[in-house]
Chains A and B, each alone.
Chain A
Amino acid sequence: MLKETIRQLASSSEKMSLVMGGQVQLAGVSVAEQKALLGELKNKNDKKENYKLSYWL
């Protein structure tokens, strides 16, 4: 379900804005997935890395 949600978001900037504004419920997406998704969208919006992991492997 996460995949489908991301496909929809990628195809619609309007939906993306609604999700970022907390105006849309993400049905079928787990709490952990939602937390990571909102974190990444915020990251993208702020244009900065607030989560980092250097290349290890």
Chain B
Amino acid sequence: MINGNTLIEQHMRDMVGRYFTAEPLLRYALQFTEDKLGESIKFGQLTLLHYRMFGGTAPAIYQAAAAVELFILASDIFDDLQDQDAPGKSWMQVPAPIAIHVASSLLTLSQQAMQSCEFDQAVRLALIGLMNDQLLRAANGQMLDLMDMASDEQSYLETVKLKSASLLLFACMTGVIAAGKPWQPVVAEYAQEIGIAAQIRNDLRDLLRWDEKSDFLQRKRTLLTMYLVESVSGEDKWIADYFEGLLSIQDVERRSEMFEEAVERSGALLYGAVMSRMHYNRFEELLDSMQEISPWKSDFLHMLNGEIA
């Protein structure tokens, strides 16, 4: 099984060491990189896997996968700064101007890393084009998410496609393009399906939280909070009232058990699980439709299921 984690990590550290010559920038960037590497590098693994799936064999793919992961790291930092959560992360424990500066430097470094991959010029240009295109899509999605612009299920799914699915598409398609193959519509579609399934799964987790990351307490519009608000009546009406701003957080902060019971009664958890599974099923159907990549299916599913660190 592919496990090029060590090589991806090495390229990430090399890029940081080569371009960040100011001591504090180097120090913070390495610290943040190590923090990230302590978790997972799944996006880079997706790039590697797709490269192999589409016949690539050159070691330069580790450079491209490192570029993908550097971008994901920058994106994670910005996301945590915007959401003001994840206090355990190293970038949340330094002054915000420092974290913002390191993140923007890492973003530029990811471009430089992709630009300096040892592929043909035409492939490098195509990779940079892909990177910018997908990252701009993600930027649009992030803005819509920050502004909580989803007004219904369709607009929520459109935001998710932009914000989350484009990052998965970027990671998968980087492997395809690096292998010298053209854009693969089926890959684009299944990457989107994984992105939607994964986002709804996150939403399921965040629906039942009762802290600063609770989607309900934050009045964040997701597929599940919208379903819940539409579904409640009678004794559970306070949920809709809070969501619409008619009640304050002080009015509801002691109602976590009542909330859990109402969620159960409404079927919101089942609805989210079904929606996530439906998109995951679609991903599997699309994967099965490409005979040439079927030998890799098992590895792919293990990776998605977190069984490959």
Contacts of B266 in A (CB 8 A): 7, 10
A37 touches B (CB below 8 Å): yes
**Stretch of B50-58, B88-96, B237-245, B274-282 that contacts chain A:** B274-282
Q: Which of B101-109, B199-207, B211-219 lies at the interface? A: B199-207
Given contacts A9-B270, A36-B281, contact A53 B265 (CB under 8 A): no
Report if A36-B274 is in contact (Cβ < 8 Å); known contacts: A7-B231, A55-B201, A56-B42.
yes
Q: How far is the CA of A57 from the CA of B76 in the complex (A)?
A: 9
- In the bound complex, residues from chain A placing their C-beta under 8 Å from that of B305 are 52-54
Chain B residue numbers with a CB within 8 Å of A1 are none
The distance in angstroms between the C-alpha atoms of A33 and B304, with both chains bound, is 22
Known contacts A52-B306, A55-B198; is-contact A40 B277 (Cβ 8 Å): yes
Distance of A38 from chain B, by nearest CB (Å): 9
The count of residues in chain B whose C-beta lies closer than 8 Å to any C-beta of chain A is: 33
Cβ distance A14 to chain B, nearest Cβ, rounded Å: 15
Interfacial residues of chain A within 12-29, with CB under 8 A of chain B in the complex:
none
Are A53 and B275 closer than 8 Å at their CB atoms? Answer: no
| Neighbouring B residues of A2 by C-beta, 8 Å | 271, 274
Say if the beta carbon of B71 comes within 8 Å of chain A. no
Within 8 Å of chain A (Cβ to Cβ): is B273?
Answer: yes
Q: How far is the CB of A26 from chain B (nearest CB, A)?
A: 12
Chain B contact surface mostly: helix
B168 within 8 A of A: yes
Please report the C-alpha to C-alpha distance between residue A56 and residue B267 in the assembled complex, in whole angstroms. Answer: 24
B73-115 CB contact bits vs A (8 Å, 1 = yes)?
0000000000000000000000000000000000000000000
Contact B271 A6 (CB under 8 A): yes
Q: 1/0 contact trace for B276-309 toward A, CB 8 Å?
A: 1110111000000000000000000000111000
B197 touches A (CB below 8 Å): yes
Q: How many residues does chain A have at the interface if contact means C-beta atoms less than 8 Å apart?
A: 24
CA A52 – CA B265 in complex, angstroms? 24
B168: A residues at CB distance < 8 A: 56
Verify if B227 is at the interface (C-beta below 8 Å from A): yes
Taken residue by residue from 163 to 179, chain B's Cβ proximity to chain A (1 for < 8 Å, 0 otherwise) reads as 01001100000000000
* A36 CA to B271 CA, complexed, in Å: 10
Q: Is the CB of B274 within 8 A of A6?
A: yes
**Docked-complex contact A6 and B270, CB < 8 angstroms:** yes
Q: Which residues of A contact B205 (CB under 8 A)?
A: 55
Kindly provide the distance from the CB of B213 to the nearest chain A CB, expressed in whole angstroms.
13
Shortest C-beta distance, A1 to chain B (Å), equals 12
Q: How far is the CA of A3 from the CA of B267 in the complex (A)?
A: 9
A2 to B281, CA, bound (A): 16
B44 within 8 A of A: no
Task: Name A56's contact: one of B198, B227, B230 (CB within 8 Å).
Answer: B198
Beta-carbon contact of A57 and B195 below 8 Å: yes
From A11, A32, A51, contact of B265 by CB (8 A): A11
Known: A6-B271, A9-B270. 4 other contacts (CB 8 A): A6-B274, A10-B267, A36-B278, A44-B270
Which residues of B line the A interface, CB within 8 A? 42, 164, 167-168, 194-195, 197-199, 201-202, 205, 227, 230-231, 264-267, 270-271, 273-278, 280-282, 304-306
Top 3 A-B pairs, shortest CB-CB distance? A54-B306, A10-B267, A36-B278
Pick 12 A–B contacts, CB within 8 A, sort by A: A7-B267, A9-B270, A10-B264, A32-B282, A39-B277, A40-B270, A40-B274, A43-B273, A53-B194, A53-B198, A56-B195, A57-B198
